[in-house]
Amino acid sequence: MIRLSQERTKTLLAIHGWSGILLGLLLYAVILTGMIAVFADEIGDWSSPSQQQQPLAFPVGLDAKLRELAATVDPQYFEELSLFPRAGGRIQAFFHRHVIPEGSTQPEEQGVQFTLHPQSLEVLARREGFWHDIEAFDLHNALADFLVKVHVSLHIPDPWGLLVTGILGLAMMVAATTGFIVHRHLLKELFTIRRVREALLARRDAHVVAASWSLPFAFVLAFTGSFYSFATSVGVPAMATVAFGGDQVALFETIVGLPPAENKARTPPANLDAMIADARGRTQTEPAFAAISHYGRADSQVTLFSYPSEGQLFNRNLVYSAASGAFVREKPGLGLVPSIGGAAADLMGPLHFGNFAGVLSKGVWFVLGFTLCYVTLTGLLLWTTRRAESPVWHRMEHVVSWMGYGLPFSLALVPHSYFIGRAAGAVELESPLAFTFLSGALAVTATALVLRDPTKVRRWLLAATGFALVLLPFVRLLAEGPGWLEALQSTRITVLALDLGVLFGGALCIRSALRAQRTSRGHRAIDTEDQSELTA
C-alpha cells in the first residue's frame, strides 16, 4: 500500500486521467496495431503463402544463385547485400548502396532487389530504385507492412510519425506510473471484482483489475517503444551532428562496428552455403537475416543474424570473412566488444516485440496487448461516462465510442481489400489498402452520426467487426488461397491457425454485441418497471 495525502492522490488521479484522455485514442490505436503487428511475419505467411512450407530460411544453392544474380547487377550496388526471408518464406536479395537523395538529409538505400522462390530459388520479381519505391510494389508483404506502418508511425511521414508515437509512449509511461501510485491497494485490486448491480461500478472494477495486472507490461512496452521512436527520429540525427559532422552513414558504421580498413581488390566470395551451415551449428537456430558488405571485395564480410536459441534472450550475430569463409567473431549488437549499453540495447527488441520464445511469447504479448487495449478504452469510457451530464463530455463519450470501436472495424476491412486486389491482378496494393482503411473510417463516421446513442454505436460497430472477421477466411479462399486440407498437407500450419484465430475473434465480437443488446433490453425493462411502480 502506498500512503498518499488526499490532495496528492487527487493530483495524481488528475494526471492519470488527463494523460489518458488527451492522447488516449491515439495511444489506443498504437497499442491495437502493435498487438496485431506482433504477428506480422505470420500475417505475411497467411496472406501470401508459398506452395510448401520451407524448413530452412536460406536453402542450399543460395550461394550459386547470388553469383548468378550479381553478374546482372551494376557494381555500384555491391556496397551491401541484404538477404532475408519474407512472406511465405520467399527470399529477398537486395544489392544496394546508401545515398542521400537530392533535397533530403536522410540516407536512403538504392539498388536492385530480387524476390526468390523459397524452394527453387527462381526469380519471382526484379525491381530497381530506392527502397521505399520498391517496397510499394511488394505484393507478397503488402498487408503485413501496412499494419506495421500504422503501428510504427500511424502512416505519418517521417520523422513526424516516429515523434508522435514516441510521445505517445511517454504518455503511456506517465499513465502507467501514476496508475501504479494511485492504486493504493494494488495487491487487493489484482483480484477484486465486486458483485454489484450498477454497471458503471462493475466496469470500473474490471478496468482496475486489468490495469493492475498489465501495469508492468505497459511500462516495459512504453519504454521500449519510446526508445525505438526517439532513437531513430531524434537520437541518430543528434549523434551524427555532434560526433560525425552530420554524416549518418559514418555513425551507423561506427555503431554497427564495420571495419574501417579497406581493401578494394576484387576477390571471389567463398561459399555462402557453408557459412550458413556453420552458423546453424554454432547457434542451434536458423539464421533470420544476412548482410554482406562490399560484395566481391577482399574486405567483404558476412554477418549472419539469428534469433535467440532455446533458453536464451539475446540475438546472435556471427561475422565471417566473405573472401575465405572463415569465422571471424561473434559481434554484439552495438560496437565490436560487449558492453552494458550494448546489452541494454539488445534487450529492447525481445522486450518490445515479444519474439524471444517464438510463437509462445508472441501469443503472450498479444494477450497482454489486448489487455492494454481494454484498459485504455474502458478507461476513456469510464472517464467520459461519469461526466456525461456535461454536453462536452457526452460528445467526447460519443467520439471515444466512434474511434475506439471503429478502428478495429476499419482494420478488419483491410485484409479484404488485399485479397480482392491480389485476385484482381493489382500491381500495387499500398494505395488500395490505405483507401479501404479510410473508407472504413468514413463508414464508421456515418454510423456514429446516424446513431446518436454511444451504446448503440459500440454495439453496431462490434457486430460489424465480427462479421468482417468471420467472412475473412472465405474471402481469402475465394481469392485462390489454399484450403485447410491443402494447407495441412503442405505443412502451411500458419494458414489454418490464423483462419481459426480470425473466426474465433469474429465470433467473440458478434457474441459480445448480442450480449450487449440483451443487457440493454434488460436495463430498459427494469427502467420501465421502476417507472410503472412510481406511477402506481
What DSSP string runs through 8-52? Answer: HHHHHHHHHHHHHHHHHHHHHHHHHHHHHHTTHHHHHHHHS--SS
Pick 143 or 213 by higher pLDDT: 143
Range with lowest mean pLDDT among 11-15, 80-84, 116-120, 194-198: 194-198
DSSP conformational letter for 264: -
Instruction: Give, for 96, the enclosing helix (H) or strand (E).
Output: strand 91-99
95 three-class SS: strand
pLDDT band at 158 (very low <50, low <70, confident <90, very high): confident
Q: What is the mean pLDDT of the chain?
A: 83
pLDDT band at 6 (very low <50, low <70, confident <90, very high): low
For residue 476, is pLDDT > 50? yes
Q: Cell numbers 488527463 label which residue?
A: 18
Nearest Cα to Cα of residue 400 among 386, 414, 412, 413? 386
Residue 199: predicted pLDDT: 63
For residue 192, is pLDDT > 60? no
Global confidence as pTM = 0.84
Written as nine digits, the cell of 203 is 466496469
State the amino acid at position 416 in one-letter form.
Answer: H
What is the average pLDDT across 280-306? 93
Distance separating alpha carbons of residues 68 and 71, to the nearest angstrom: 6
Query: What is the layout of strands, in order, in the sheet containing 316-321?
Result: 123-130, 108-116, 91-99, 80-85, 287-293, 301-306, 316-321, 327-330
Residue 527: predicted pLDDT: 44
What is the average pLDDT across 434-462? 89
Residue 311: predicted pLDDT: 67
Instruction: Give, for 304, the enclosing helix (H) or strand (E).
Output: strand 301-306
pLDDT band at 61 (very low <50, low <70, confident <90, very high): very high
Dihedral angle at the C-alpha atoms of 354, 356, 358, 363, nearest 10 degrees?
-30
Q: Where are the alpha helices (DSSP H) in 231-268?
A: 236-244, 248-256
For residue 534, is pLDDT > 60? no
**C-alpha distances out from residue 405 to 151, 377, 445, 454, 466, Å:** 17, 9, 11, 10, 11
pLDDT band at 123 (very low <50, low <70, confident <90, very high): very high
Residue 465: predicted pLDDT: 96
Residue 528: predicted pLDDT: 44
pLDDT band at 184 (very low <50, low <70, confident <90, very high): low
For residue 529, is pLDDT > 50? no
What is the average pLDDT across 281-285? 90
pLDDT digits (tens, 9 = 90+) for 226-266: 888 777 666 666 665 655 666 666 666 666 655 557 889 99
